[in-house]
């Protein structure tokens, strides 16, 4: 979303009389388009975002160390941002999307707040934490995909009731850079730390999670009424497909999560997917204009991104930039969660993809 420096500053190589002219018009806040046109309107995407992989085994100790430095309450959200190495300091993983790993320790609370930015959570490590959205609490299990809709109150916590409970880590995906681009961000803190739980756990899933909808329900929200999509159900679907049909040559068996009321993306700005690659899979190359963040749930393999090999294991996160060629390879059966800004690009009619 940030314009590149090359787009703004005319090159020093310009002819002296042109440079002198540029110098004279600058105080009037004018700039010559012809020096920047090629960068502003490129022949094809030229993203500053680069392919990158975060090895969970390598970064987990840093995440755990953060808990010795600050509590979840003081931090509000104790997260290590997965900053794209091509865009340091900008708190983004692709140009439009933010990803981070959030840590909750047993007994902690991340206080209730709300914001315009939509969030998704994908549980990476540990069990026993919960998130509360709109008065309904959901317990987190590894592989669950959970939504925080725009402007809904939400708090996270970990009651530490079980003797085996430990740290819980999840991947946060937010449309923070998109909202920042539009200068449309609002946020507020709740008056209470943890919102009052007013609904029994599982109510949303009972009402909307079984290809059925309460008979007099009319939907007004832009976001799915299911806010937790359990891994057990999604994984079961992939296992059944593996038994019943050949994998797609590019993406294996890949399903997108939907809003059951529309069939579209579960949230306006992000499309999450879950895919299974069979052992020995050597996928064909494909690319899309939606830069994508992947979280590895099961198995080992390699993402070949514009020729760069990113070897992955469970709990790793990697990012594939817009228009980079991706080939997926699996050494064992592998399950990948992913999300991109595709619904936004589709809404404005600019999404492109190609399958080689």
Question: What binding mask, one character per residue, do residues 3-42 give for ligand GTQ by CB under 6 A, x or -?
Answer: ----------------------------------------
Six token digits for residue 261: 């009321």
> Token pair 């865009």 is at which residue?
87
Q: Which residues, numbered 119-158, are part of the site for ligand GTQ (CB under 6 A)?
A: 119, 154
Question: What binding mask, one character per residue, do residues 163-182 give for ligand GTQ by CB under 6 A, x or -?
Answer: ---------x-x--------
Using CB under 6 A, which of 84, 93, 95, 102 touches ligand GTQ? 102
Closer residue to ligand GTQ, CB minimum distance, 125 or 172: 172
Nearest residue (beta carbon) to ligand GTQ = 172
Question: In 10 A of CB 275, how many CB atoms?
Answer: 21
Is residue 290 near ligand GTQ by the rule CB under 6 A?
no
Which whole-number Å values give the CA distances from 233 to 19, 111, 236, in the listed order? 63, 30, 5
Distance CA 29, CA 308 (A): 41
Using CB under 6 A, which of 52, 82, 105, 115 touches ligand GTQ? 115
CA-wise closest residue to 10 among 41, 42, 43, 33: 33
Least separation, in Å, of the C-beta of 28 and ligand GTQ? 40
**What torsion, rounded to 10 degrees, do the Cα atoms 281, 284, 290, 291 define?**
60
Using CB under 6 A, which of 100, 126, 167, 252 touches ligand GTQ? 100
Is residue 295 near ligand GTQ by the rule CB under 6 A?
no
Phi-psi region of 64 (alpha: psi -120 to 50; beta: other; left: phi over 0): alpha
Is residue 108 near ligand GTQ by the rule CB under 6 A?
no
Least separation, in Å, of the C-beta of 83 and ligand GTQ? 12
Report which secondary-structure segment, H or E, holds 346: helix 342-347
Instruction: Give start and end residues of each alpha helix (H) in the chain.
Output: 5-8, 16-25, 37-40, 56-69, 72-75, 176-182, 203-208, 231-244, 342-347
Where along the sequence are the contacts to ligand GTQ (CB under 6 A)? Answer: 77, 79, 100, 102, 115, 119, 154, 172, 174
């Amino acid at each position: 979303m940030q314009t590149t420096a090359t787009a703004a500053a005319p090159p020093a190589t310009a002819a002296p009389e042109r440079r002198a002219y540029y110098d004279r018009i600058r105080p009037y806040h004018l700039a010559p388009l012809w020096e920047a046109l090629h960068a502003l309107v490129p022949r094809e995407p030229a993203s500053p975002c680069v392919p990158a992989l975060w090895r969970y085994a390598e970064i987990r100790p840093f995440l755990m160390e953060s808990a010795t430095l600050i509590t979840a309450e003081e931090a509000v959200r104790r997260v290590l941002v997965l900053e794209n190495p091509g865009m340091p300091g900008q708190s983004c993983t692709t140009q439009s999307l933010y990803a981070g790993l959030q840590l909750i320790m047993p007994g902690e609370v991340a206080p209730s707040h709300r914001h315009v930015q939509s969030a998704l959570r994908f549980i990476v490590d540990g069990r026993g934490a919960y998130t509360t959205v709109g008065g309904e609490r959901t317990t987190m299990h590894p592989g669950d995909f959970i939504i925080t809709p725009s402007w809904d109150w939400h708090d996270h916590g970990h009651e530490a009731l079980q003797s085996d409970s430990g740290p819980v880590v999840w991947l946060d995906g937010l449309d923070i850079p998109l909202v920042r681009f539009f200068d449309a961000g609002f946020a507020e803190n709740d008056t209470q730390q943890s919102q009052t739980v007013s609904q029994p756990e599982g109510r949303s899933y009972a009402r909307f999670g079984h290809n059925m909808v309460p008979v007099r329900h009319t939907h007004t929200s832009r976001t799915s009424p299911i806010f937790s999509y359990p891994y057990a159900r999604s994984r079961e679907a992939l296992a059944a497909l593996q038994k019943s049909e050949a994998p797609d040559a590019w993406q294996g068996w890949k399903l997108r999560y939907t809003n059951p009321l529309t069939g579209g993306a579960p949230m306006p700005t992000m499309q999450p997917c879950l895919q299974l690659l069979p052992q020995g899979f050597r996928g064909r190359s494909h690319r899309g204009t939606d830069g994508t963040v992947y979280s590895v749930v099961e198995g080992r393999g390699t993402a070949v991104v514009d020729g760069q090999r990113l070897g992955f294991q469970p709990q790793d996160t990697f990012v594939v930039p817009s228009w980079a060629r991706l080939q997926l390879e699996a050494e064992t059966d592998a399950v990948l969660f992913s999300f991109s800004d595709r619904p936004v690009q589709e809404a404005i009619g600019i999404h492109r993809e190609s399958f080689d």
